Amino acid sequence: MRRRPSRLVAVTAAVLALTGCEARVYGTPPPVNPGAPQLTVVAPQGPLAPLPEAAPDEPASTFEGLESRTNQATAEAAAKGADITTVVLDRSTGQRVTNGNGRSIAIASVVKLFIADDMLLRGPPLTPDDEKMFESMLRSSDDSAAQVFWDRNGGTAIVTRVAARYGLSGTRPNGLWFNTLSTAADLVRYYDMMLSGAGGLPRDKADMIVDNLAQSTPTGIDGMMPGGVYPQRFGIPEGLYGEPVAVKQGWMCCIGSDWMHLSTGIIGSDHRYVMAIASDQPATASAARATITQAVKTMFPGGRI
**Quick one: pLDDT at residue 3?**
52
Query: What single string gives the DSSP state of each residue in 31-72?
Result: PP-TTS----PPPPPS---PPPPPPTTSPPP--TTHHHHHHH
Q: How much of the chain, in percent, has pLDDT values that exceed 90?
A: 75
Structure-model confidence comparison of residues 255 and 101, the more confident one: 101
Segment 50-57 shows an average pLDDT of 42
pTM: 0.83
Half-sphere exposure of 224 (CA within 13 A, CB side): 15
**Quick one: pLDDT at residue 52?**
39
**Quick one: pLDDT at residue 222?**
80
**Quick one: pLDDT at residue 255?**
86
| Tens of pLDDT, residues 127-156 | 999 999 999 999 999 999 999 999 999 999
Q: How far apart are CA 118 and CA 140, in angstroms?
A: 19
Q: How far apart are CA 188 and CA 168, in angstroms?
A: 10
How many Cβ atoms sit within 10 Å of the Cβ of residue 182? 27
Where would I find the H helices in 223-304? 236-239, 285-299
Reference 170, options 97, 221, 252, 102; nearest CA is 102
Segment 223-246 shows an average pLDDT of 91
| Tens of pLDDT, residues 68-104 | 999 999 999 999 999 999 999 999 999 999 999 999 9
Structure-model confidence comparison of residues 218 and 62, the more confident one: 218
| Tens of pLDDT, residues 269-303 | 999 999 999 999 999 999 999 999 999 999 999 99
Query: What are the E-state strand segments in the chain?
Result: 15-19, 22-26, 83-90, 96-98, 105-106, 181-182, 219-221, 229-231, 244-255, 258-267, 273-281
Q: Is the pLDDT assigned to residue 31 strictly greater than 60?
A: no
Determine which of 22-26, 181-185, 232-236, 253-257 has the lowest per-residue pLDDT on average. 22-26
**Quick one: pLDDT at residue 53?**
41
Evaluated on CA atoms 92, 97, 103, 108, the torsion sign reads negative
